[in-house]
Structure 1
Amino acid sequence: MGAKDRLDQIRRELNEVGQVSVGDLSRHLGVTEETIRRDLERLESEGVLKRTYGGAILNPAQQAQSDTQFDKRVSRSAEEKRVIALKVLPLLENVSTIAIDSSTTAVASVKQLANREDMTLLTNSVAALRVLETGSLHVVLTGGEFNRETLSLRGDAAKRALDQYHIDTLLFSCKGIDSGGTYDTRPEEVEMKQRLMERSGRLVLLADHTKFGKTAFVKLASLDAISCIVTDRKPDDKWCDVMREHGIRLVF
């Protein structure tokens, strides 16, 4: 990976998580820690970040601009999300209880279910309420601490709330998929997704074609745990073979 790609990746991680560590970046990007330190020095000189012991945090001035990150992610790959939302509908025809994570892809998909009178939705996504203001779908929020950047609820209270429920199907997304599993960037978001997985009978991953062959900082789930992947178009044959080996149904 070249210097430009590394710097772009570090910027993305900072915008999504707010902080990075030298060790994690070194392992993830496949370069020495000294190289990462030089990258961080350069980004600090550009005003992107503030270096800390062992890593860096997003510059507070940049943080103010990232408060609308959720809305930016909503508009990103909008057509792919629309296609996925339509393709997931047949999988939910006879389902009475579903859960979604706080991803923009899952929120886009649940919009199609707003008028399902026979369905209950459990979620930690405050953003889901935006698209469900009208309609007859029964919605249950987990409660918990409000994260303004992701428009989601998190923390111990949110996780404890899930213990009383069992869900037929979970719709969730991730930042990357490879032969080792699925990955995401935010540890606190991963914890909520994993708790939702524990309470769900069927795991349906919503991932556009760009997610295949990518990884991120945090392991989310093994492929063996996933029942189905809904994507916007057919992945490369390599990934079709991997999913077949793990018994995962591909919908595209």
Structure 2
Amino acid sequence: MFQEERLISIINYLKTNKRITVDQICEQYDVSRDTARRDMVKLEEQGRIIRTRGGAILPTLSKDVGNYEQRLQAESSSKLTIGKTAAALILDGDYIMMDASTTVLHAATAMNSKNNVVVTSSIEIAATLARKGDTTVHMLGGVLDNQHHSVYGAKAIEMLNDYHVDKLLIGTCGITEDGLTAPNEEDSYLVRAMMQHADQVIMLADHSKFGKKLFHRVVGFESIDILITDQELSPEMKEKLLACDVEIVLTEGEITA
């Protein structure tokens, strides 16, 4: 077996078994300990593993977050379905807050309700809703994030003190049993502040977000009222959410409370 084939096999083993030792590599691939160590050094240089005493594990921290266009294309069909399901929860006359998630953008696009007032940090959502003649849009001020098409910072958080809404729609970059995570502190601070000014918090998350942990923790599940997703959750994740009284809505129409 060539080294590259062996490296792929080691990664596949780690995905199933979480950890591999030098001795296991030697035994499974009939190689020397020096060869096994070279394999682990190669995988570590590629950023695919983290070496531990006598073995290796997969990295638990997700570091790559694409720009707005890349995120908009990722899992686009799932996001579209989730967005439509979320839009159906918005009633005529509701006051809404929306973060800069690409999935929330799909909800804004799918909105058929009338006479809504929307507060948002997303320039894309603001532009989308501006085409709806009966929707009033309040755009938060602050620092413009060119990569993610949104505003952030102290000014945006200060402006939130002037608003209170019926419903907040948010996305997330990662969800584990510990809660929601984001790639940076600024995203976390703004979402936390939004939650303080909404009666109901609705989280939109496709299946690819589950099991991903990013650098900064946003909130635990106790801050979420409704989760809309596109696939059945693991028993462990479902148990955590239900323990916090989160209503789980699957886009296929199944509702678990």
TM-score by length of 1: 0.71
| Residue aligning to 1:121 | 118
1:134 aligns with 2:128: no
Structure 1 residues 94 and 239, CA gap change in structure 2 (3 angstroms): farther
Instruction: Write out aligned runs for 1:18-97 (5 A).
Output: 69-93=67-91, 96-97=94-95
Q: 2: CA distance between counterparts of 1:155 and 1:175?
A: 19
Larger helix proportion of the pair: 1
Structure 1 residues 243 and 132, CA gap change in structure 2 (3 angstroms): same
Structure 1 residues 144 and 247, CA gap change in structure 2 (3 angstroms): same
Q: 2: CA distance between counterparts of 1:5 and 1:129?
A: 43
Q: 2: CA distance between counterparts of 1:93 and 1:213?
A: 32
Structure 2 gap ranges (5+): 1-13, 15-39, 53-63, 251-257
Q: 1: CA distance between counterparts of 2:126 and 2:184?
A: 22
DSSP 3-state at the match of 2:200: strand
- Measure how far apart 1:184 and its partner are: 1.0
The answer as to whether partners of 1:70 and 1:151 remain within 8 angstroms in 2 is yes
- Measure how far apart 1:129 and its partner are: 2.9
Aligned residue identity for 2:125: A
- Measure how far apart 1:90 and its partner are: 3.1
The answer as to whether partners of 2:96 and 2:116 remain within 8 angstroms in 1 is yes
| Paired-residue identity, % | 22
| Residue aligning to 1:24 | none
Q: 2: CA distance between counterparts of 1:181 and 1:78?
A: 23
DSSP 3-state at the match of 2:131: coil
| Residue aligning to 1:143 | 141
Q: Note the alpha carbon deviations across 1:107-130, whole angstroms, 9 max, x for none.
A: 1111112x5332111001011134
Aligned length: 199
Q: 2: CA distance between counterparts of 1:6 and 1:201?
A: 47
Tell me the C-alpha RMSD between the 2 structures.
2.6
- Measure how far apart 1:236 and its partner are: 2.3
| Residue aligning to 1:180 | 178
